[in-house]
Structure formats: C-alpha cells, structure tokens
A and B are shown apart, each in its own frame.
Chain A
C-alpha cells in the first residue's frame, strides 16, 4: 500500500496554473497602509463586520445594494 500521496497528478492531467498572455500591460495594485484611529466597540464591531471605522463602508446599506456609476 502506498503511504505517500503524489505531489502532483500525472503530468498529462495538469492544468497550467498560469495561462501566459501576451501583448498586454501589467496591472499595478496599491494597498494603502492602515492608520488606526478610534475603533468601534466590540458590540458594534460584530454588527458592522470590522472594528475599524475606515474599513466600514455603508454604501450597500444606503443604496439598498445598488451602486450607480
């Protein structure tokens, strides 16, 4: 009985992890550093899904889930 699991399936069954694309520009992403200010109370944090006011976006509540461009 085999006691190990092969790290990868047979080569012929593999799906490439990355599909090479050509003639496109690379995208860049920027993630600003979080700056802590006041935090929600634990009770409010649980209802809003975050303890940090800057990370809470109520636009879905204000618009009923519809965002206009």
Chain B
C-alpha cells in the first residue's frame, strides 16, 4: 500500500472503532459487535505499526522514531499530503 492508501485505511478504522465503541456503550452484551470491534482494533494496530515503520510517526507521543527524529518529516494536518478525497468502496 502507498502511504496515502495506508493512511486512509487507518482513518477509516479509527472512525469505525469509535462508532462501534459508542454502540457498545449501550449494548455491552452484543458479542458479535465486540468481535467486530476487537478485529478492527487489532487490524488498526497492525496498520499503524506498518505505517510507522515505513513512513514515520503518526502521533507525536505514541510512536517510536528512527534517527533522525521523524515527527518533523510527517505531513502536517494542513498540507495536501494529509488531506485527500475519501474513496468509497463496496457501495
């Protein structure tokens, strides 16, 4: 995956996890939803690790850095590299 594809996958899973989290707050016995939540969290963890290894730090406080310090090389939120049009899949 390219950097942008990887970043988009992470953003999609971040949102998906938040929405399932909110649902589970009111449906704590829904085992299927907990399974979907857990799968998404594990997949997101792998993708974040892959992104960090290939392209640098995603967040400033929860990622390890190679030398030199990588945070300053990541795209800033206002740069085009961090803003792209979302692709809908499987609609």
Contacts and interface: CB of A to CB of B under 8 A. Distances in A.
A47 B12 CA distance: 9
B45 interface: no
Interface stretch (A3-11, A19-27, A35-43): A35-43
Interface string B16-30: 100110010011001
B58 interface: no
A20 to B, nearest CB: 33
Interface residues of A, number: 14
* A contact face: mostly helix, strand, loop, or mixed: loop
Contacts of A46: 11-12, 15-16, 86
B26 A34 contact: yes
B33 A43 contact: no
A52 B33 CA distance: 12
Given A34-B23, A34-B26, A52-B23, A45 B33 contact: no
30 contacts: A33-B26, A34-B23, A34-B27, A36-B30, A36-B32, A36-B33, A39-B20, A39-B36, A41-B90, A42-B9, A42-B12, A42-B15, A43-B87, A43-B88, A43-B89, A43-B90, A44-B88, A45-B12, A45-B15, A45-B16, A45-B19, A46-B15, A46-B16, A46-B86, A47-B86, A51-B15, A51-B16, A51-B20, A51-B23, A52-B23
